């Protein structure tokens, strides 16, 4: 019989505890509550081997990642085992990088998600002096998709990442022209997060939808210097699927509601977002959740971040006040347009009527 000495057992336990501490407690891969994220890293549809996916706690991706995947295989496949939570993902390989278009990614108990990445090549930013007397900075550059310039792209500058870049930008460029170039003058000296977006709807605000082009600048946050021009190159990627704020979830697991959008004649209306606010003065605050666009039968679903009272509206546009001719309406099931939802409750039949906004 082979006996194991008490000293050896003690050393093994100490080693196991040290590994657990150094990995941040992420020894969940084999536990019942682990969630799995799998996918492929590609560049121009070709697999990217030897890449990795990093997981962060904040939208700005600053600081050390909470976890990094093993290197992708020859087919570009990767795998992550994570405890349930909300994360921000980015993928990288030598000279290539990509920000996850579904960020933030919410994983639940024993859930399996498939998230792919299109990696693109990034260049370093370049600083150049502006004419004497210019005390502010400039941000300029070019946006491309598959190496070609793209028009209709808006570049936004944010001061922080607290709202996942869904609020009002500090500064926003005019849409790019046919050469894909942009320039923002008189930018105060500070650190900024740069994002580029082109929505198929033609709007400069609103949730990004499947097929839209976007980019999160690789070197965020960047420093804008007074008296200098910051030149950046923005390669874009195409969103593979819708990922609105709380638009995706699971009925029976997540809090939310669904229904049908109808016009004044009772006909179903497609292409409408449903908004859920925490304040009754809906037009003056940022929504807590936004649905995907209603489908061809007028149907929508919306998932909420937590239980409570929500005030519900619907419209065809996004941001600012509804424009003349835009479809707009409120939930009329209660006098103040509110719904009260409890934990993991999902309500059906929350229909909303919309009408066209009259001109001034």
Domain ranges of the chain: 24-120, 122-238, 256-356
Rounded to whole angstroms, how far apart are CA atoms 356 and 347? 27
Q: Where are the beta strands (DSSP E) in 188-241?
A: 190-198, 213-216, 222-224, 228-235, 237-238
Cβ pair 36, 19 in contact under 8 A: no
The pLDDT value given to residue 109: 79
C-alpha closest to that of 303 among 288, 317, 284, 315: 288
Number of Cβ within 10 Å of residue 147's Cβ equals 9
| DSSP-derived pairing of the beta strands 327-330 and 228-235 | unpaired
Residue 33, Cβ density class (10 Å: 0-12 exposed, 13-18 middle, ≥19 buried): exposed
Burial string for 7-17 (b: 16+ CB within 10 Å, else e) reads eeeeeeeeeee
Mean pLDDT within 330-342:
93
Residue range 122-238 forms a domain whose CATH class is mainly beta
The pLDDT value given to residue 110: 78
pLDDT of 243 above 60 = no
Rounded to whole angstroms, how far apart are CA atoms 54 and 50? 13
Q: Which ranges constitute the DSSP H helices of the chain?
A: 6-22
First to last CA, the chain: 93
The pLDDT value given to residue 113: 86
Look-up of token digits 């310039």 = 149
How is residue 182 written in tokens? 């942009």
How is residue 109 written in tokens? 């108990």
How is residue 82 written in tokens? 């994570």
pLDDT of 14 above 80 = no
Mean pLDDT within 338-360:
87
Q: Using 50, 70 and 90 to split pLDDT, how confident is the model at 1?
A: very low
Look up residue 33 and give its DSSP letter: T
CATH 2.60.40.1120 fits 256-356, yes or no: yes
Cβ pair 265, 227 in contact under 8 A: no
pLDDT over 90, % of the chain: 53
pLDDT of 53 above 90 = yes
Q: Using 50, 70 and 90 to split pLDDT, how confident is the model at 249?
A: low
Rounded to whole angstroms, how far apart are CA atoms 141 and 217? 12
C-alpha closest to that of 339 among 274, 283, 244, 243: 274
pTM of the model: 0.66
Q: Could you say which architecture CATH assigns to the domain 24-120?
A: Sandwich (2.60)
Q: Using 50, 70 and 90 to split pLDDT, how confident is the model at 6?
A: very low
Bridge partners of 140?
183, 231
Mean pLDDT within 152-160:
93
Mean pLDDT within 160-185:
89
pLDDT tens readout for residues 19-31: 333 333 333 334 4
Least confident of 149-153, 198-202, 203-207, 291-295: 203-207
Question: What separation in angstroms does the CA of 183 have from each of 142, 177, 302, 328?
Answer: 9, 11, 37, 35
How is residue 267 written in tokens? 């006909």
pLDDT of 320 above 70 = no
Rounded to whole angstroms, how far apart are CA atoms 130 and 280? 48
| DSSP-derived pairing of the beta strands 213-216 and 237-238 | antiparallel
Rounded to whole angstroms, how far apart are CA atoms 256 and 343? 9
More confident position, 314 or 323: 314
pLDDT of 333 above 80 = yes
pLDDT of 301 above 80 = yes
pLDDT tens readout for residues 31-43: 445 789 999 999 9
C-alpha closest to that of 176 among 125, 232, 220: 232
């Amino acid at each position: 019989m082979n006996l194991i000495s008490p000293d050896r057992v003690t050393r093994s336990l100490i080693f196991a505890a040290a590994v657990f501490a150094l990995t941040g407690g992420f020894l969940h891969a084999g536990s019942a509550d682990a969630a799995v994220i799998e996918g492929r890293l590609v560049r121009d549809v070709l697999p990217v081997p030897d890449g990795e996916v990093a997981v962060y706690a904040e939208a700005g991706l600053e600081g050390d990642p909470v976890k990094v995947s093993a290197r992708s295989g020859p087919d570009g496949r990767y795998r992550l085992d994570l405890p349930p939570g909300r994360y921000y993902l980015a993928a990288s390989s030598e000279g290539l990088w990509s920000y996850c278009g579904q960020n933030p990614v919410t994983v639940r108990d024993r859930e399996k998600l498939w998230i792919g990445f299109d990696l693109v090549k990034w260049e370093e930013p370049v600083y150049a002096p502006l004419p004497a007397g210019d005390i502010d900075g400039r941000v300029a550059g070019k946006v491309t998709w598959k190496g070609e310039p793209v028009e209709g792209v808006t570049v936004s500058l944010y001061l922080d990442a607290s709202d996942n870049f869904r609020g009002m930008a500090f500064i926003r460029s005019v849409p790019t022209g046919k050469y894909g170039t942009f320039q923002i003058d008189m930018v105060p000296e500070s650190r900024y997060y740069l994002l580029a977006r082109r929505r198929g709807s033609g709007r400069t605000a609103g949730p990004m939808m499947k097929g839209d082009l976007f980019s999160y600048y690789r070197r965020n946050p960047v420093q804008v210097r007074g008296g200098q021009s910051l030149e950046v190159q923005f390669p874009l990627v195409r969103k593979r699927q819708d990922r609105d704020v709380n638009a995706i979830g699971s009925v029976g697991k997540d809090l939310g509601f669904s229904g049908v959008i109808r016009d004044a004649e009772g006909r179903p209306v497609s292409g409408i977002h449903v908004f859920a606010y925490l304040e009754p003065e809906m037009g003056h605050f940022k929504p807590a959740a936004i649905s995907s666009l209603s489908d061809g039968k007028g149907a929508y679903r919306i998932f909420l971040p937590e239980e409570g009272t929500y005030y519900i509206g619907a419209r065809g546009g996004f941001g600012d006040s509804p424009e003349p001719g835009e479809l707009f309406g409120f939930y009329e099931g209660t006098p103040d347009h509110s719904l009260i939802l409890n934990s993991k409750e999902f309500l059906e039949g929350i229909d909303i009527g919309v009408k066209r906004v009259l001109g001034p």
